[in-house]
Chain A
Amino acid sequence: MNLSPESMIDVIPYLTTGLWYTFIITIVGVAVGCVIGTIFGFMRLAQNRLISTIAGIYVEVVRGTPLLAQIFFLHFGIPNLIGFSMDALISGYIILAINSGAYIAEIVRGGVQSVDKGQLEAGKSLGLNGLQTMRYIIWPQAVKIMIPPFGNQFIISLKDTSLLATIAVGELIYQAQQFTALTFDAFEAYFMVCLFYLIITIPASLLLRFTERRLGT
C-alpha cells in the first residue's frame, strides 16, 4: 500500500477542467435531447402510422444498442464512410443529444399517455381544439408526471458522458487518465473522479426529490 495524499490534491485542477466538460456536455446534450425527445415523443403518439413508426425505430435503435457502439459508430464509423473527421467534443454533444433524446421521447410519450383520458374529453367538450387541449390541459399535467423520470435520465446521461473518454473528450475520466499517465497514482485519481461525480449527482438527486415532493408526485 502506498497512498499518495498529494496526488489527490494535484489531480484537482485536471478534474475541475473535466468536470466542466462533463457538465457542459450533459447540459447541452440533454437540452437538445429534450427538444428531440419532445418531437419524437409526440411523433410516437401520432395517429399516422408512418410517423409513429419512424419515431419508434429511432427509440428502439438507440435503446437496443450500447452507448459505446453509438459513440464509435458516430465518431469513427460515419466520418470514415463519408471521409471527414469530426471534433470529439462535437461528437460528444451529438451522441448525448441523440441518446438522451430517445429515452426522453419515451418519457414524453409515457407522460402524455398517463394523463387521464377524461381530461382530453373535458377540453374537447368545451370547444378547445387539439392543440389548445394539449397545451393548456394535457401538457402541464404530463410535465409533472415526467419530472421524476426526466431527473433520472439527466443523472444517467451525466454518468454516460464518461464513455466519451474513449474518443478523447476531455471530461472527468479522460482527465484522470491523463493524470494517471504522468503519476501512476490511479487509486487517488479515480477516487477523486468518483467524488467529483457525486458532487453533481447527489445535489441533482436531492433537487429532484425536493421537486417531486413539492409537486406532490
Chain B
Amino acid sequence: MIKVSNLHKSFGDNEVLTDITAEVDAQEVVCVIGPSGSGKSTFLRCLNRLEDITQGEVLIDEVNIADPNTDINVVRQDVGMVFQHFNLFPHKSVLDNVMLAPTKLKRDSKEEIQSRCLNLLEKVGLSDKAEAYPSSLSGGQKQRVAIARALAMNPKVMLFDEPTSALDPELVGDVLAVMKDLANEGMTMVVVTHEMGFAKEVGDRVFFMDEGRMVEEGTPTQVFDETRHERTREFLSKIL
C-alpha cells in the first residue's frame, strides 16, 4: 500500500530524513516511535506530500507521489491524516467539519454524504455533538471528530501524528479505542505515537527512528523485547 524507497528530506541544508526505505502493507498498522526531533512527523508528512520530497520515491498504492506530475490532491483523498492539534475547522459545526471534503470532492448526493457522516460520528461516539462547534468540545472529542473527518473521504490509509499527545491523560483512552476499532476493521494505518501500550497491542509492526534514519523495524515483540540496536534500547529504557 505504501512503499518508500531511499527517501531523503532536507530543510535547506539541514537533512532531517536520510535514506529511508520502508513498506506498509494493506491493512497493516505501523507505529512509528523515536525521540523528539528524530523526523517522525516529517516522515509521515512526506507520505501525503505535506512536505516536499527532496529525493527518493514514495509510492501510495503504486502512485509515486514524489513525482511532481502526480496530482497530489487526488492521492490525498485516499490518505487521511490526523494531527496532534486536531486542526478542526472552528467556523464549522462538527457535522460540517466531517462533511466539507466529501461535499466538495465526491459526487454522491448531499443526503448520502450526510447520512454517511452521521454514521461516522456515531462510530466515534459523538452523534450528539453533530451540531456543536469545535470550541465547545474537549480535546478527546475534537480528536475523534478529526478522525471522523478524515474517514469521511473513505481513505485507504490513515496517518496519525501523535494523535493523543495534546490530550489530558484521562481522554487518551477514548481516542485510542477509536483507533483500535479502526485497526480491527482492517484500515491501513501509520501512527506516530508515544503510546507504547498501543504500539504493542495494536501495532503489527514498529518503526524506530533516530536522527532522521530508520534505525530498527520489526514486530512489536522484535522491537520491544528482542531489541537489536543499542539506540533503540536506550530510547526504550528512557520511555518505559
Contact = CB atoms under 8 A, between A and B. Distances in A.
B205 interface: no
A127 interface: yes
A122 B101 CA distance: 10
B89 A137 contact: yes
Interface size band for B: 20 to 34
Contacts, number: 60
Given A121-B50, A136-B104, A126 B87 contact: no
Nearest to A130: B73
Interface in B84-105: 85, 87-91, 100-101, 104-105
A128 B153 CA distance: 11
Contacts of B101: 126-128
B50 A126 contact: no
Interface residues of A, number: 17
A16 interface: no
A interface, by DSSP: helix, strand, loop or mixed?
helix
Nearest to B76: A127
A125 B91 contact: no
Contacts of A121: 50, 81, 83, 87
Interface in B106-150: 146, 149-150
Nearest to B85: A118
A7 B221 CA distance: 95
30 contacts: A116-B87, A119-B87, A121-B81, A121-B87, A122-B81, A122-B87, A122-B149, A125-B48, A125-B50, A125-B76, A125-B79, A125-B150, A126-B77, A126-B100, A126-B101, A126-B149, A127-B74, A127-B76, A127-B77, A127-B78, A127-B101, A128-B104, A128-B105, A129-B73, A132-B104, A140-B91, A141-B89, A141-B90, A141-B91, A144-B91
